[in-house]
Structure 1
Amino acid sequence: MIMAGRFPMYALAGLVVVMGGLAACSPLKALNALSPGGASTATDGIAYGAHLRHKLDVYVPNGGGAGAPVVVFFYGGNWNAGERADYAFVGRALASRGIVAVIPDYRLYPEVRYPDFLDDSAQAVAWTAREIGRYGGDASRLFVMGHSAGAYNAAMVALDDSYLAKFGMKPASLRGWIGLAGPYDFLPIENKVTRPVFHFPDTPPGSQPINHVDKAVPSALLIAASRDKLVNPARNTGRLANKLRSNGVGVTEVYYDGVSHTTLVGSIAAPLRGLAPTLDAVDSFVNGKPRKP
C-alpha cells in the first residue's frame, strides 16, 4: 500500500482556475479546454456495435502507436450519465505517455440496467482486441481502466469471465486492469440513485466485483482518494486489494490525500497533475516501469 502526501499550493491554484470556468461550462469541458492535445491524434465516433451509444474514440500517440500498449478507459457517472467526448483529457494524457487510448460510450440507465452496460463494456474491449492493430496498438498489451462507475465496469470485465466470453475472449487476454475510486463491494446499496440500476432490493451478489476474484484474474492497479466521501476507499479499494493478494494476484494499492472522488480522475489532466501523481502511477503500471519510492 502506498500513501501520498498533501498537494502543494500551486496545484490548488490550478484547481481554482479550472473550477472558475464552471459558470460557462462543465468541469470536464474546462479540463478538456485546458489539456493540450498536441501529443496525440484522435479518431472519434467509431462504431463498435449496433446501438447509437456503441461508439468509441481512439487516441494515438503522435508518430504512431506501433507496438504501443493499449488502455480502454470507462468513465463514471453512476451508470446514468456520461459522454466519451468529456474525457478527451484522459485520452490525450495517456497518449502523451505512449499509450493508445480507447474511450467508449456505453448504454445508461434508465434505458438499460445491470448487467447490460457490462455487455457493452466487454464488446468495446473485444472490438479493441480485434481492431486496435490498425491504429498501431499492441493487443497483447491490453488493459482496461475506469473511474468510479467506470472502474466498476473495468473490474467486472477483468474479474467475471462471463462478459468477455460472449465475445470470444477471456480475462487472461488482458495484461491488467486499473481502477480509480471504484465501487467493488457495495451491498446493500445505500445510494438511492444507484438502487434501480441494480434491481434493488433484489440485487444479485454476482453484481459485486469482489465476488469474482480468483487466482486466474489479471493483475491490478487500484487508486483511491484517501478521504473519498462517495465511495468508501477502505471498504471498496482496500477489501478488493486484500482479496486479490490472498488469491496470489498482483495488486498495487495507492491512496492519495490531495484529491476527492471526482478530482482523482481530474488529476490525470495537465492542469491538475500537481494534485496527485495519478498519471505517473498508470504509466508505470502499463509500461512496466519501476515505481519511485
Structure 2
Amino acid sequence: MTLPKLGVALLAAIALAGGLVFWAPTQVLNALASSNTHTVSQGASYGPGERQLVDVYRPRRAAPRGGWPVVVFFYGGSWTRGERADFAFVGEALASRGILTMVADYRLYPEVRYPEFLKDSATAVAWALTHADRLGGNPQRVFVMGHSAGAYNAAMLALDPRWLKAAGRSPRELAGFIGLAGPYDFLPIENPDAKPVFFHPDYPPGTQPLEHASRGAPRSFLGAATSDKLVNPQRNTQALATKLQSLGVPVTLKFYERASHMTMIGAFGAPLRWLVPVLDDVTAFVNGPPG
C-alpha cells in the first residue's frame, strides 16, 4: 500500500470508528479493494422493480466440489438509504475467501414501509437459491447475511418462515444466518429515521426477530461491537444468541472490543481488517460443518 493510500485508509478508519457518516468512507474502501480476487456481474434482476437488483461477485479461485458457498448480503441504513454499489468491498472481501457473494438492493422508505423490504429480500434469496448452481455456487450452502438494518432483514428471513414461503422457499433451505450489529428486539423505536418505517407508535405485530426464534432456525453467526452506541449489543445480539442456544440452535457468538457499529462492516475492507477479525470469523463460519 502506498503512503497516500495508507493516509486515506487511516482517515476512513477514523471516520468509521467515530461513528461518523458511513457512506463516504465506503467509497474509500471500494477504491482500495482488490480487483484481482473476483469477477463481478452488476445489476442482475431478481424482480421487476428498479431496486430489485443484485451484484454477483464470483471468486477467481477454482470452485470446490459442489460449488462455492454462497452469501446473500443485505446492507444497513435504517431502511431509508443505501446502495449495493456502496458495498463492493464486502463482495470483494468474501469472494477473495472463496465465497460466491450477492449484494442485494431492496426498496427503502419512503417508497415502502415494513414489510415490503422483507418481501424484496426474500425474493432476492429465492433468486440466489434458484441460480446458485448456474453461477458456480452450491445451492445446498446458501447463507443469508446482513449488517445493521440489513441484519434485521436477514434475521427475519432466517427466523420467520412467512417471508421465504411467500417467495416459494423455506428457511430450512438456508445453510446459515450471519447477523452483524443487528437490531432484533428494538421496540419502542428510538431512531427517528426508523420510526415511520414501522408505523411508530402503531407497530404491526410480529416485527421483532427475537420472537420468531425456534428450534428450526438455521445455524447462526451473531457478531457485534462490545460498545455499540447505535444498537444495544446485549439487548439484541446477546439476547438472540441466548434464545437460539436455549432452543438447541448452533450459534457462534462474537463480541469485538475494538469495533464500532460502523466498523463491524467496515472491517471487511482491506485497509481496516486489522481492527477486528470479523472477515476471518465469518469465513470460518461459512466453511464450518453444517449445523
- Count of aligned residue pairs for this structure pair: 277
Q: Identity over aligned residues, as a percent? A: 56
* Partner Cα separation in structure 2 for residue 19 and residue 178 of structure 1: 23
Which secondary structure does the structure 2 equivalent of 1:56 belong to? strand
Highest RCO, 1 vs 2 (Cα 8 Å, sep ≥ 6): 1
TM-score by length of 2: 0.91
**Are the counterparts in 2 of residues 65 and 98 from structure 1 also a CA contact under 8 Å?**
yes
Q: Tell me if 1:18 matches 2:12.
A: yes
Gapped regions of structure 2 (runs ≥ 5): 1-5
Residue matched to 1:55: 53
Q: Write out the 4+ residue segments of structure 1 that deviate beyond 6 Å after TM superposition.
A: 20-23
Superposed, which structure 2 residues align to 1:1-293 within 5 Å?
16-18=10-12, 26-65=24-63, 67-288=67-288
Q: CA deviation at 1:14?
A: 7.7
Q: CA deviation at 1:274?
A: 0.4
* Partner Cα separation in structure 2 for residue 15 and residue 138 of structure 1: 34
* Deviation digits for residues 88-111 of structure 1 (CA, Å, limit 9, x no counterpart): 000000011100000110000000
**Are the counterparts in 2 of residues 57 and 102 from structure 1 also a CA contact under 8 Å?**
yes
Q: CA deviation at 1:167?
A: 1.5
* Partner Cα separation in structure 1 for residue 265 and residue 14 of structure 2: 18
Gapped regions of structure 1 (runs ≥ 5): 1-11
Residue matched to 2:3: none
Which secondary structure does the structure 1 equivalent of 2:206 belong to? helix
Q: In structure 2, what residue type is equivalent to 1:200?
A: H
* Partner Cα separation in structure 2 for residue 29 and residue 157 of structure 1: 29
* Partner Cα separation in structure 2 for residue 187 and residue 243 of structure 1: 18
* Deviation digits for residues 10-44 of structure 1 (CA, Å, limit 9, x no counterpart): xx988524358999x81010100011121100000
**Are the counterparts in 1 of residues 8 and 28 from structure 2 also a CA contact under 8 Å?**
no
**Are the counterparts in 2 of residues 64 and 136 from structure 1 also a CA contact under 8 Å?**
no
Structure-2 change in CA distance of 1:136 and 1:108 (3 Å): same
Which secondary structure does the structure 2 equivalent of 1:242 belong to? helix
Q: In structure 1, what residue type is equivalent to 2:37?
A: A
Q: In structure 1, what residue type is equivalent to 2:32?
A: L
* Deviation digits for residues 153-182 of structure 1 (CA, Å, limit 9, x no counterpart): 000000000000012111000000000000
Q: CA deviation at 1:288?
A: 1.0
Deviates more, 1:106-115 or 1:59-68: 59-68
* Deviation digits for residues 40-92 of structure 1 (CA, Å, limit 9, x no counterpart): 00000100000000110000000454611000000000000000001000000
* Partner Cα separation in structure 1 for residue 14 and residue 193 of structure 2: 28
**Are the counterparts in 2 of residues 140 and 173 from structure 1 also a CA contact under 8 Å?**
yes
